[in-house]
Amino acid sequence: MSLILGIESSCDETAAALVTSDRRILAHRLAGQAAAHAPYGGVVPEIAARAHVEILPRLIEESLAEAGVSLGDVDGIAATAGPGLIGGVMVGLVTAKGLALAGGKPLVAVNHLEGHALSPMLADPDLAFPYLLLLVSGGHCQLLLVKGVGDYRRLATTIDDAAGEAFDKTAKLLGLGQPGGPAVEAAAQAGDSGAVPLPRPLVGSGEPHFSFAGLKSAVLRAKESGRHADADIAASFQQAVVDCLVDRTRLALAAADEASALVVAGGVAANQRIRSALQALATDHGLLFVAPPLWLCTDNAAMIGWAGALRYEAGLTDPLDAPARARWPLDPEAERARGAGVKA
Ligand code: KG4
Ligand code: ZN
């Protein structure tokens, strides 16, 4: 059994956690920065990096105290080394390097996407490789076949916006608050999901990828027409996203028949309609369905510590000159999606 300190700082969440290789989360601490970025309507990279500098050391101290361990008890230090906002990634990675150097501990440079990909195993001990992961957040929209530690096949990605980004932009168009996902979901409750005709980009196509830019433009036109209630637009938009996610996931399942489970992770996995539609799809295919608790689906350090523990156990540690990477595809063999593979 090994004990790993995990550090996450690739976007606007600063986080530290202590995780064991036998799936125990001894401590986890997370500090969001929503208030610092709110006046700008989005995450400002330099503000995020500065906040990580200020907050991270305290979160590490608190995690160690909560777990009742000292740095000397830890077997390795894992940090997100990318992909993400480079200033923030550097803060977390350099902190990890300093601790590794000072404590004489190995460094594990974790791909943030690998953290998301492996985190569902923390939630469900029955989950085994290989499984199909739908990763849907503000920054990512991918279907990955998770075959083992360090062994991923990317089956689909978005050619423009991520699903969470589409929720956030729709919320903005409807004058709702941020983050947009929960606001749109709440507004949709009072609406009719069939009221506004909206496109389902790429649905039915053999091209495996996602696209949400056309849907967002259609939402804008629906709003500007003045002919629809906001609740109907929200409900119709949400249904269009559900239909896109289900159709694309079904296509991926056909290409990955070795998968034993369907797993959803990322902030968008909080959406009840999306969860139940994916649950139904998994049941149709006779697959285990895993949707981890929300705090584990969104950015956190437990998933980095867990990925770090699995990598450490597999002997996959990194030298102290490991680079910080703004871009770092999990599957380097994956073909670039048309539209320039915008997201990781
Ligand atoms: O994983 P996450 O916390 O951060 C990253 O983007 O990495 O995901 C945040 C995204 C936001 O775009 C947010 O609007 C979306 O997840 N989201 C939702 C819901 N809750 C959060 N989207 C749809 N329905 C929700 N209930
Ligand atoms: Zn993430």
Q: Confirm or reject: Cβ of 115 under 6 Å from ligand 1.
A: no
pLDDT of residue 219: 97
248 shares a domain with 271: yes
342 lies in some domain:
no
Please check whether residue 93 is in contact with residue 61, taking contact to mean a CB–CB distance below 8 angstroms. no
Give the pLDDT confidence of 102-112 residue by residue, as tens digits.
Answer: 999 999 999 99
Domain of 108, in residue numbers? 3-117+298-313
The residue contributing the CA closest to ligand 1 atom 22 is: 181
97 lies in some domain:
yes
The C-alpha angle 144, 147, 151, rounded to 5 degrees, equals: 85
Find the helix packing angle between 45-67 and 86-103, rounded to 10°.
30
193 lies in some domain:
yes
Pick the atom of ligand 1 nearest to 165's CA: 12
Q: What is the C-alpha separation between 207 and 186, in angstroms, rounded?
A: 32
Identify the CA nearest to 305 among candidates 81, 3, 93.
Answer: 3
When computed from its CA atoms, the radius of gyration of the chain, rounded to whole angstroms, is: 20
Please check whether residue 292 is in contact with residue 259, taking contact to mean a CB–CB distance below 8 angstroms. no
Q: Confirm or reject: Cβ of 270 under 6 Å from ligand 1.
A: yes
Taking the CA of 172 as reference, the closest ligand is 1
Mean pLDDT by 10 residues, the chain (344 residues): 98 96 97 86 89 97 98 98 97 98 98 94 95 93 96 95 95 89 97 97 94 96 97 98 98 96 94 97 97 91 98 98 95 73 43
Q: Confirm or reject: Cβ of 76 under 6 Å from ligand 1.
A: no
Q: Confirm or reject: Cβ of 268 under 6 Å from ligand 1.
A: yes
What pTM was estimated for this model as a whole?
A: 0.91
339 lies in some domain:
no
Q: What 3-state class would DSSP assign to 39? A: helix
270 CA from centroid of ligand 1 (Å): 7
Q: What's the mean pLDDT when you consider all of the chain?
A: 94
Q: What is the C-alpha separation between 187 and 280, in angstroms, rounded?
A: 24
Q: Confirm or reject: Cβ of 8 under 6 Å from ligand 1.
A: no
The residue contributing the CA closest to ligand 1 atom 14 is: 181
Q: What is the C-alpha separation between 115 and 310, in angstroms, rounded?
A: 10
Please check whether residue 302 is in contact with residue 273, taking contact to mean a CB–CB distance below 8 angstroms. no
At a CB cut-off of 8 Å and minimum separation 6, what does 308 contact? 4, 6, 19, 76, 77, 78, 108, 110
39 shares a domain with 132: no
Q: Confirm or reject: Cβ of 179 under 6 Å from ligand 1.
A: yes
Please check whether residue 79 is in contact with residue 7, taking contact to mean a CB–CB distance below 8 angstroms. yes
pLDDT of residue 339: 61
pLDDT of residue 344: 41
Taking the CA of 89 as reference, the closest ligand is 2
341 lies in some domain:
no
214 shares a domain with 146: yes
